[in-house]
Amino acid sequence: MIILSARQQWLLSNPDAEKFYCVQIKDLKLTSYHRDLNLADGIYVASDLLANIAAPEATSSVDRSLYEVILHDNENALADLYFQNLIGSKMDVRLGFVDPDTDAPDVAELFTLYSGIVQGKDTNYDMSIEGGATTKIIGSNLMAALDAVNSFYASKEYLRDLDATDTAFDQIYEGSQSLSLLWGKK
């Protein structure tokens, strides 16, 4: 169960509290707030690159849907990010509110909406707009790998890389003669 502070409960229930997002994808830190924000983990740059945060659908069962951050990259400013080890890199999405009493962003009481890794990306180009490009960065859900199976494929060479003296797989691929293999205990 998530425990909210009294301040967080007040911000969530106040209809005048304007929301903003802080998104970190790899080393890129963006915010939907109208100016840069200095947080404990660095400066989040106000940019029109951050277009939308598409939260997964809430269901009553264990959810394995994915988290999506949508970027408008019309100038292709993030091309280096897309091609340099983006998959598997860190992705965090936090939600903040502007205090309606002071009109200042409350950066001390941010909600963590998503914390995980980038699973993939999908770029769409709109030819009706010159240079119109939208990129969807897909973050994997922590429950997404519940039914994943790690397969173990072995060969003689693979086993020799682990232990040069192990000869357990030396005759496995020999199919031209009769073999009698003793596995396990005698």
Other C-beta atoms closer than 10 Å to the C-beta of 139 total: 23
Return the pLDDT at 152.
63
Number of domains forming the structure of the chain: 1
Q: 92 lies in a domain?
A: yes
Higher pLDDT, residue 72 or 22: 22
pTM for the model: 0.69
Q: Is the pLDDT of residue 2 over 60?
A: yes
Q: Domain range for residue 15?
A: 6-139
Q: 46 lies in a domain?
A: yes
Return the pLDDT at 172.
66
- Contact yes or no for 112/94 (Cβ under 8 A): yes
Report the mean per-residue pLDDT for the chain. 80
Q: 149 lies in a domain?
A: no
Q: 57 lies in a domain?
A: yes
Confidence grade of residue 94 (pLDDT, cut at 50, 70, 90): very high
Q: 183 lies in a domain?
A: no
Per-residue model confidence as pLDDT tens digits over 123-140: 887 777 666 788 888 888
In the chain the beta strands, taken as DSSP E runs, fall at: 18-25, 28-31, 37-39, 42-46, 50-54, 67-72, 90-98, 105-126, 132-139
Quick one: what percent of the chain has pLDDT higher than 90? 17
Q: 93 lies in a domain?
A: yes
The residues, any chain, with a CB within 8 Å of residue 103's CB and separated by 6 or more, are: none
Q: 152 lies in a domain?
A: no
Q: Is the pLDDT of residue 176 over 60?
A: no
Q: 144 lies in a domain?
A: no
